[in-house]
Chains A and B, each alone.
Chain A
Amino acid sequence: MPFYSDKVMEHFQNPRNVGEIKDADGVGEVGNPVCGDLMTFYVKVQEGKLADIKFKTFGCGAAIAVSSMVSEMALGKTIDEALKITNEEVAKELGGLPPNKMHCSNLGATALHKAIENYQNKNKATP
């Protein structure tokens, strides 16, 4: 059996939503270059929905595929819906990840949630 599922390889080779949003409403980052993974997510929120998501990821094939997958899953969703997406669901949607990649590289949902929380905190600060 190959190391990664076809779906992981497909997302890794053709990742969706790569990039940055200059006037992002929220930015979130997780990971650590020392462990080989760092994900930065940017979100644009309109009428309570994720109107745009972009990411940049430093990491292995799994890390890039996970970032791409979660961006696709969350795009257009409401904030509440997006916050409910778990890392496990992302891995499942990708047809599974090798066991040793589950901890380290499977942080896409966490990074997205951080970006959303960043947006929510900013909105709290402005009355």
Chain B
Amino acid sequence: MAKEIYLDNHSNAKIDERVLAEMMPYLKENYGNAQSMHALGERAKEALEKARQQAGNMIGAGVNEICFTSCASEANNLAVKGTAEAFKHKGRHIVVSGIEHFSVLYAAKRLGMMGFEITYLPVDKHGLVSPDDVKKAIKAETILVSVQHANPEIGAIQPIKEIAKAVHERNVLFHTDATCTAGIVPVNVEDLGADLLTFSSTQFYGPKGAAALYIKKGIRLAPLIDGGIQEGGKRAGTENIPAIAGFGKACEIAKTEMETNARRTILLRDRLLDQLPKKIEYLYLTGHPSQRLPNNVSFMVEFVEGEGMFLLLDQKGIYVTSGSACASKALKMSHVLTAINADPAIGQGSILMTLSKYNTGDEIDYILAEFPPIVKKLREMSPLYSYFLKTGRRKAAGPGTDYDHEHEHEHEEVL
């Protein structure tokens, strides 16, 4: 079989066999609805509550503090909109970082259209939010601050404890989207100071279709989905038992194995972070040098465009992703690269590689051998590169330059 090297683990990691084995009975013989009172219903209910225990254990939460959802996006929406709805009598101001996942960002944007005031926090060039900026942003009307634990695109890990402390000093609720960190690095809700915390297991070898919002005891959010009494009325709808059972198992495994996995991926990560800039000129790492996810390798390659790189990598069986305009449907540089003030022309050459426990040293050797010729090939075609070689200068780009008048494409807005 042709080589397949999967480096898109932020999008979804390969399921662990033990997780799959845990799920199978609930796809086959134990098909009951967890709300049914008969024996088959009971079996489903037991799986649901076991998973709740496992998920809570991993993040140091009580069983009554875990609310299962269908995905992390839903959990983020529940955190943002559910808080807004439940606490709007106290105030209508919400603070989020500018580099949140779209499920936080656009949930906030929608609230903005409904009359809430939204403050977007800036980040520094490494993608970190300053706790001081959080302090300054909070007002008497603020009801929620949401800052992600780590960024999926550049891997920067936020100083969450300090941010949570700043938020709690003002008696405001704090939500963190820990989708990139839970199960990958230790996440403890008390230690972090989170009132609400989103996590899913798709990055740590669990299935799609289940995630959770930690809701600290005593906090009552308004549900997004009204209906039955599932999840204590916080989230109606028949529970996806196979996915939830798999999510729980993935949490249980991660609790004991995440450190080993992190040590492994850090070795591979650091080889890429160290070697790629040595093998490819004008390659710039993005994210924070030390406050970085163990599995994240993100960078920008100047004079070439990201999609071209990933298509050629794809031909070699190396599966990565790109934050370039052409690789995204909106046809503009990612909001994360914009927020860290990346040069918009260089940002077109962004590549994201995310590792898992399944990656090997041999695979890293293969990438280090195959990637530089791909960049070379594309640079030989690039007018930006030949201009640079001839003049030693970079073509100016962006508003107010020669190219500004060309910037007239119809950009699709999500909202």
* Residue interface bits B387-408, CB-to-A below 8 A is 1, else 0: 0000000010110000100110
Q: A33-B397, A36-B305 are in contact. Are A57 and B403 (CB under 8 A)?
A: no
In chain A between 42 and 72, which residues have their CB closer than 8 angstroms to a CB of chain B? 56-64
How long is the Cα–Cα vector from A30 to B332 in the complex, in angstroms? 18
How many A-B pairs have beta carbons closer than 8 Å: the answer is: 99
Smallest beta-carbon distance B348→chain A, Å: 4
Q: When A56-B386, A100-B331 are in contact, do A61 and B307 touch as well, CB less than 8 Å?
A: yes
Pair A13/B312 contact, Cβ less than 8 Å = yes
- Alpha-carbon gap, A103 to B331, bound state (A): 10
Contact B384 A33 (CB under 8 A): yes
User: With an 8 A cutoff between CB atoms, is B341 at the interface?
Assistant: no
Interface bin, chain B: 35 or more
In the complex the two chains form, is B406's CB within 8 Å of A32's CB?
A: yes
Interface-side segment among B166-174, B208-216, B251-259, B321-329: B321-329
A34/B403 in contact, CB under 8 A: yes
Interface centre among A4, A32, A57 (most CB of B within 10 A): A32
A58–B395 CA distance with the chains assembled, in angstroms: 12
- Supposing A33-B397, A61-B308 touch, asked if A13 and B315 sit within 8 A by C-beta, the answer is yes
> Given contacts A33-B348, A37-B326, is CB(A57)–CB(B409) below 8 Å?
no
B308→A64 contact, CB < 8 A: yes
**Contacting residues of chain A (74-127) with chain B, CB-CB under 8 angstroms:** 100-101, 103-105
Quick one: which of B329, B332, B333, B403 has the most chain A CB within 10 A?
Answer: B403
- In the complex, A55 Cα to B344 Cα: how many Å? 23
Known: A31-B406, A34-B345. A57 touches B383 (CB 8 A): yes
Instruction: Kindly state whether residue B303 has any CB partner on chain A within 8 Å.
Output: yes
Residues of B within 8 A of A25 (CB): none
Min CB–CB distance B75 → chain A (angstroms):
29
Beta-carbon contact of B331 and A104 below 8 Å: yes
**Cβ contact of A61, chosen from B311, B329, B385, cutoff 8 A:** B311
Q: Kindly list chain A residues whose C-beta atoms are within 8 Å of the C-beta of B243.
A: none
Report the separation of the CA atoms of residues A20 and B308 in the bound assembly, to the nearest whole angstrom.
20
Q: Is B260 an interface residue (CB 8 A)?
A: no
Task: Write the B236-251 contact mask toward A (1 if CB under 8 angstroms, else 0).
Answer: 0000000000000000
* Pairwise interchain contact A20-B409, C-beta atoms closer than 8 A: no
Is B140 positioned at the interface, with any CB of A under 8 Å from its CB?
A: no
In angstroms, Cα B348 to Cα A99, docked, is: 20
Q: Is the CB of A18 within 8 A of B348?
A: no
Q: Let me know if B308 and A34 touch, CB within 8 A.
A: no
Q: How far is the CA of A68 from the CA of B217 in the complex (A)?
A: 62
Is A59's CB under 8 angstroms from B403's CB? no
Chain A residues contacting B303 (CB-CB under 8 Å) are 58
Contact (A38, B383) CB under 8 Å given A33-B395, A104-B409? yes
Task: Please tell me if A35 contacts chain B, counting CB pairs below 8 Å.
Answer: yes
The answer to whether B307 and A56 touch across the interface, beta carbons within 8 angstroms, is no
* Interface membership of B381, Cβ < 8 A: yes
Complex contact B381–A15 (CB within 8 A): yes
Contact check, B397 vs A100: say whether CB atoms are below 8 A apart: no
Q: How far is the CB of B354 from chain A (nearest CB, A)?
A: 21
**Contact yes or no, A35 B407, CB < 8 A:** yes
Using a CB-CB cutoff of 8 Å, which residues 75-103 of chain B contact chain A? none
15 A-B pairs whose Cβ atoms sit less than 8 Å apart in the complex:
A4-B311, A12-B311, A32-B397, A32-B403, A33-B345, A33-B384, A34-B345, A34-B403, A35-B409, A36-B305, A38-B384, A38-B395, A58-B303, A59-B308, A104-B331
A→B interface (CB under 8 Å): 4, 9, 12-13, 15, 18, 20, 29-40, 56-64, 100-101, 103-105
**Residues of chain B whose beta carbon lies under 8 Å from any beta carbon of chain A:** 303-308, 311-312, 315, 324-327, 329, 331-333, 344-345, 348, 380-386, 395, 397-398, 403, 406-407, 409-410, 412
Report, nearest first, the 4 A-B pairs whose CB atoms are least far apart: A60-B326, A33-B345, A60-B307, A56-B383
